[in-house]
Amino acid sequence: MATSKARGTRTGNSGEGGEIHQTAAAPDERITTNHGVPISDNQNSLKAGRRGPTLLEDFVLREKIQHFDHERIPERIVHARGSAAHGFFELTDSLAEFTRAKILTEIGVKTELFTRFSTVAGGAGSVDTPRDVRGFAVKFYTNEGNWDLVGNNIPVFFIQDAIKFPDLIHAVKMEADRGYPQAASAHDTFWDFIGLMPESTHMIMWAMSDRTIPRSLRMIEGFGVNTFRLLNDKDEATLVKFHWRPKLGTQSTCWDEAVKIAGADPDYHRRDLHEAIAAGNFPEWEFGVQLLSQKQADALPFDILDATKVIPEELVPIRFIGRMVLNRNPDNFFAETEQVAFLPTNMPPGIDVSEDPLLQGRLFSYQDTQLSRLGTVNFHQIPVNRAKGCPFQNMQRDGQMQTQVFKGRANYEPNSLSEAGEDGGPREDPAGGFRTFTLPMEEAKVRLRSESFADHYSHARLFFQSQTEIEQAHIASAFVFELSKVSLEHVRLRVLSNLLNVDETLARRVADGMNMDLPKASAPAVAPQDMKASPALRIVGKYPVTLKGRSVGILVSDGADGAVIDAVKKAVEAEGASVKIVAPKIGGVALKGGARLKADGQLAGTPSVMFDAVAIVVSTEGCAALMKEGAAIDFAKDAFGHLKAIGFSPEAKPLLDKAGVVADAGVVSLDNKASLFLEPARTRQWAREPKVRTLA
């Protein structure tokens, strides 16, 4: 009987290309469809040629994804934990040369939109701040129909072919026998899958970076992930990647900080987004495109149909052509945020898909999962999903929860009722309607990957070597944390063997962090190549040094000097940041002179992890009382440990000493001038990090 150590995998799986021969599996070992048909290839969808589009006849793909889409009712299978807002898109630079889509050609027109951010792995009741990819989905209500740009805050993905998506999510979700962990990738099944799927290596580098522990949803980038096409009036095609870049800069938390935020406020990101919009501090993103002709794409040393690859900005610059502003919170969470249904198939004329096999599967999956989750083919009539910029009309009728009252006899097309003076209904529009790009196809239908998809390590190496030393240390430490939660030693060893193909120093740091010997490097299908570093892939040193959009907490006590508090508050708010007063009790404090100061938060429930910088303004008596409170000591200790600026009145010095706060450029006395606190408060004190924690 033929057996394999890694059941369900093949030597060189994940798209090295070429024929792969295996010994036949015994009947009780082979994987089949739900109806018992043995499956010869569970790694690749059926395509028209190696780089061709996925075929509708692929019943293996459809059954697998359709079953996956219907596994949870009614919560989303993935991206269940979401927050959203209304806003608008405004075009500032026309792409009329490349597309006929009016939303990308009519400068100055403001198009209404709805944007939903989400975590991937956790359920609807999970926390906001786990280490996880963030969904970034935008529904544009254009005057040519809805356009749903459904992406993530990371430009690449774990897999190359949609047929592997159910396996990926099954691996990262709660383990099937025990129902935990929730919203966490640090467990056996996830890393077992990652180690067996070399194509996931690039994405896992991003997942272990600070990108997956964002400071705020207002401070994440967004990417369309897949490659799309733009079509102009002549049906000439241009390949395109879509980008969202936050005006506040891409900013993240420290890992220890993210963990503690989860306990202090599970709704941290949701609250942050809602409060910013309610206060009139509207989040804004620039919208950009990377444009390539087919000839330019073919000249690249990688395949842009491969969703595990990124196009470095240094090779193809981003052209920023518009902006998105979120300016209104939902009126009802369920009716809007929960019921919004995004479909990659929603595209106005002038925008089209590519043959990316991950995208090809998404074109089917999203429609199917909405049918399951919302329970009707008429989910497009829910207000948040309804086309607003133009009427929607066709011959589709009835169905569960039909809300429209159709008149007339014509519910089929073509018809000739108009010749008898009756309403014949809408007709197709060959000139102005959606037209698919004409793609010549002469290849055999196959279950194979293109050889151009076979390099799984070069882009992972590019990402790691493009990071600053700070970010590289964070990535190595994240691997150590995650893999230390893995109980199966062979899984840890396999991941280390793959990391050796990315960067030997990284692999050694991770191995040392677990006190393990390095194994031999795994054999890559294609030898990884060194690419020129891309500084655009960094976070540190790239975001604006500003307090705008951030939050500062001021810890106060009875007898504190109100003038100092007021000076700090005014200086911080003048920079565009918000201020919250934290007191031992929610009723506030009596300041020096007897005036009352209201509190925005109580000390035990409003720790320093909630803020980007802190100030401690107390009286001598108040400091003595706070030194008996563990929450007060942790307030200062965590702020220092999370590399935040700390402003303090002289009376607070004993509390800082007890918390282990050591003077540096980010620890500023407020005795002189409150504005001196602003400079270090605008950024994290990265030079402090080696003194407060051990990194891999």
Condensed to tens digits (0 to 9), the pLDDT of residues 81-133 reads: 999 999 999 999 999 999 999 999 999 999 999 999 999 999 999 999 999 99
Could you give phi then psi for residue 142, rounded to 5 degrees? -80, 165
pLDDT tops 90 at residue 472: yes
Picking from 316, 350, 382, the residue at the C-terminal end of a domain is 382
SS3 assignment, position 509:
helix
Q: Which range is least confidently modeled, 38-42, 321-325, 479-483, 586-590?
A: 38-42
Q: Are 528 and 461 in contact (CB under 8 A)?
A: yes
For residue 20, which of 448, 443, 526, 522 has the smallest C-alpha distance? Answer: 448
Q: Is the link from the previous residue into 38 a cis peptide, with omega within 30 of 0? A: no
Residue 198 resides in a domain: no
pLDDT at 56: 84
pLDDT at 73: 55
Amino acid symbol at 539:
I
Structure-token match 């502003």, residue found:
325
Residue 487 resides in a domain: no
Could you give phi then psi for residue 319, rounded to 5 degrees? -100, 115
C-alpha distance from residue 688 to each of 142, 475, 568, 664, 676 (Å) = 49, 18, 23, 8, 19
The 8-class DSSP code of residue 355 comes to -
pLDDT tops 80 at residue 52: yes
Could you give phi then psi for residue 244, rounded to 5 degrees? -120, 130
Q: CA 87 to CA 549: how far, in whole Å?
A: 18
Average pLDDT on 211-222 reads 98
Which has the higher per-residue pLDDT, 73 or 577?
577
The CATH number linked to 662 is: 3.40.50.880
Strands 646-648, 667-669: pairing kind? parallel
- For the CA atoms of 489, 491, 494, 500, the dihedral, rounded to the nearest 10 degrees, stands at -80
pLDDT at 397: 84
SS3 assignment, position 625:
helix
For residue 158, which of 119, 108, 117, 195 has the smallest C-alpha distance? Answer: 195
Residue 251 resides in a domain: yes
pLDDT at 25: 73
Residue 480's CB: how many other CB atoms inside 10 A?
Answer: 18
Q: Report residue 14's pLDDT band, with 50, 70 and 90 as the boundaries.
A: very low
Buried b (16+ CB within 10 A) or exposed e, 379-400: bbbbebbebbbeeeeeeeeeee
Which has the higher per-residue pLDDT, 78 or 581?
581
pLDDT tops 70 at residue 4: no
pLDDT at 13: 41
Amino acid symbol at 621:
E
Residue 680 resides in a domain: yes
SS3 assignment, position 641:
helix
- For the CA atoms of 8, 12, 13, 14, the dihedral, rounded to the nearest 10 degrees, stands at 150
Average pLDDT on 311-335 reads 97
Residue 618 resides in a domain: yes
Average pLDDT on 510-523 reads 98
3-state secondary structure 17-37: CCCCCCCCCCCCCCCECCCCC
Residue 514 resides in a domain: no
pLDDT, tens digit, 9 for 90 and up, residues 229-265: 999 999 999 999 999 999 999 999 999 999 999 999 9
Structure-token match 């001196």, residue found:
676
pLDDT at 252: 97
The CATH number linked to 91 is: 2.40.180.10
Q: What is the chain's length?
A: 696
Residue 293 resides in a domain: yes
C-alpha distance from residue 232 to each of 98, 143, 182, 321 (Å) = 5, 17, 46, 17
Q: CA 293 to CA 240: how far, in whole Å?
A: 9
Domain that holds residue 233: 69-166+216-382
Could you give phi then psi for residue 146, rounded to 5 degrees? -70, 140
Amino acid symbol at 446:
V
Strands 82-91, 578-583: pairing kind? unpaired
C-alpha distance from residue 216 to each of 72, 260, 267, 271, 541 (Å) = 28, 15, 11, 10, 18
What is the number of domains present in the chain? 2
Residue 4 resides in a domain: no
Average pLDDT on 501-519 reads 98
Q: CA 280 to CA 277: how far, in whole Å?
A: 5
pLDDT at 366: 92
Q: Which range is least confidently modeled, 192-206, 500-514, 534-548?
A: 534-548
pLDDT tops 60 at residue 430: yes
Q: CA 455 to CA 96: how far, in whole Å?
A: 35
Picking from 382, 402, 434, the residue at the C-terminal end of a domain is 382
Average pLDDT on 16-24 reads 48
Q: What is the mean pLDDT of the chain?
A: 92
Taking the alpha carbons at both ends of the chain, their separation in whole angstroms is 44
pLDDT at 599: 98
Average pLDDT on 611-638 reads 98
Average pLDDT on 305-333 reads 97
SS3 assignment, position 111:
strand
pLDDT tops 80 at residue 686: yes
pLDDT tops 50 at residue 16: no
Residue 567's CB: how many other CB atoms inside 10 A?
Answer: 17
pLDDT, tens digit, 9 for 90 and up, residues 567-621: 999 999 999 999 999 999 999 999 999 999 999 999 999 999 999 999 999 999 9
Q: Report residue 325's pLDDT band, with 50, 70 and 90 as the boundaries.
A: very high
Residue 259 has which token pair?
């963990």
Q: Which range is least confidently modeled, 164-173, 189-198, 381-390?
A: 381-390
Q: Report residue 675's pLDDT band, with 50, 70 and 90 as the boundaries.
A: confident
Could you give phi then psi for residue 91, rounded to 5 degrees? -80, 135
Chain centroid offset of residue 547 CA = 24
Average pLDDT on 463-479 reads 98
Q: Which range is least confidently modeled, 155-169, 349-363, 386-400?
A: 386-400
Torsional sign, CA 115, 119, 124, 125: negative
Beta-bridge partner residues of 290: 241
Average pLDDT on 290-303 reads 97
- Residues assigned a catalytic role: 79, 152
pLDDT at 531: 96
Q: Report residue 34's pLDDT band, with 50, 70 and 90 as the boundaries.
A: confident
Q: CA 651 to CA 295: how far, in whole Å?
A: 68
Picking from 354, 382, 410, the residue at the C-terminal end of a domain is 382
